[in-house]
Amino acid sequence: MKKASAKTDNNGMRAEYDFSGGVRGKHHRALQAGYTITIHQADGATVVKEVQPKEGAVVLAPDVREYFPDSESVNTTLRSLIRLIPDKPTRSARKAPRTETRRRLASSTRAKPTKRT
């Protein structure tokens, strides 16, 4: 059985590794846009691969992935949520005429008389 080295901490990392100035997810956005991999083979040949995310690809956070292991479970859940969204109101129902809004505000901001006893 191999003994643990005295040079490592409780996480198994060596003392000379310092990640205190690191930034998590620094290149995340750039990788989402696509990237190029260049492979230099032993025989001198070079292979270049362009990696692009699939059209409409969505990346789930790790805590969400625990509940949705595959795309079918995500789609099923989103479809059930879509059914709960009410239909969009028509343009005329959304916007009230300006004069009615002013009257409503004016009447609601008036001071109400108080009773004196």
Model confidence pLDDT, tens digit, residues 103-115:
555 555 555 555 6
What is the arithmetic mean of pLDDT over 83-91?
Answer: 79
How large is the average pLDDT for residues 61-81?
Answer: 91
Residues 95, 100, 105: CA angle, nearest 5 degrees: 105
Is 96:105 a contact under the CB 8 Å cutoff?
A: no
User: In this predicted structure, what is the pLDDT of residue 1?
Assistant: 55
What distance in Å separates the CA atoms of residue 78 and residue 67, rounded to the nearest whole number?
13
pTM of the model: 0.36
* pLDDT tens digits, one per residue of 33-48: 888 999 999 999 999 9
Query: Residue 67 corresponds to which amino acid?
Result: Y
pLDDT the model gives residue 115: 60
Token pair of 60, please? 């789930």
Which one is predicted more confidently, 92 or 9? Answer: 9
**Tokens linked to 28:** 């995340």
Distance of alpha carbon 100 from alpha carbon 110, whole angstroms: 16
